[in-house]
Amino acid sequence: INRLKDLKRIEVLQADLFSYKTFENSSFLYLNVNQFIVIETGQAIYGLDLSKDFKVIKSGKNIEIMLPNIELLNLSVNPDSIDFIGLKKGMFTSQDHFEALKKEVSVELYSQLKIKARNKQLLDQAEKNARQIIYSMFKSLGYENININFRKHSH
């Protein structure tokens, strides 16, 4: 049990997320058209933050464990994995402005990935994985009746 407290966090699920957006804007009576497609992939890591309060009640071969919510521990996007396809810069658009447009759309996509990362199915799968990991851990320590509960996450 002290080993569990020492862990600080347990990562239980890794999910690859995908988002894309088609961007187009024009000005000067459609003479200056900027357009491109951005594809962004991210990696979400789910797990338990054991630095938060959790409770363990032992009684012989029985143990009850109250764990914190499963949460998104990390969401990362490798900048090298962001793809821009069909880049078309308008003739009146400066390169700096065009780069700023690309960055702006990329930031929007990151926000979309954050929303996708909070998907109920992913959180439920992470909870299921955590339950199996914690159960196996305590089963290997000789406990027979293992009751695992989580503070419920809000979706």
What is the reported pLDDT for 155? 44
What is the reported pLDDT for 30? 75
Quick check: 71 and 49 in contact, CB under 8 A? yes
What is the reported pLDDT for 117? 95
Q: Tokens 């955590």 label which residue? A: 130
Whether 139 has a pLDDT exceeding 60, the answer reads yes
What is the reported pLDDT for 1? 59
* Bigger pLDDT: 130 vs 81: 130
Amino acid letter for position 54: F
Query: Alpha helices of 32-152 — where are they, by DSSP H?
Result: 95-117, 120-140
What is the reported pLDDT for 2? 62
* Bigger pLDDT: 2 vs 23: 23
Task: Mention every residue, 6+ apart, whose C-beta is less than 8 A from residue 69.
Answer: 150, 151, 152, 153
Dihedral, CA of residue 96, residue 81, residue 36 and residue 119, to nearest 10: -120
What tens digit of pLDDT does each residue of 23-43 get?
A: 998 887 778 899 999 999 999
What tens digit of pLDDT does each residue of 54-111 get?
A: 888 999 999 999 999 999 999 999 888 899 999 999 988 899 999 999 999 999 999 9
Burial class (CB in 10 A: 0-12, 13-18, 19+), 47: buried
Quick check: 98 and 34 in contact, CB under 8 A? yes
Look at the alpha carbons of 27, 28, 31, 32 in this order and tell me if their dihedral is positive or negative. Answer: negative
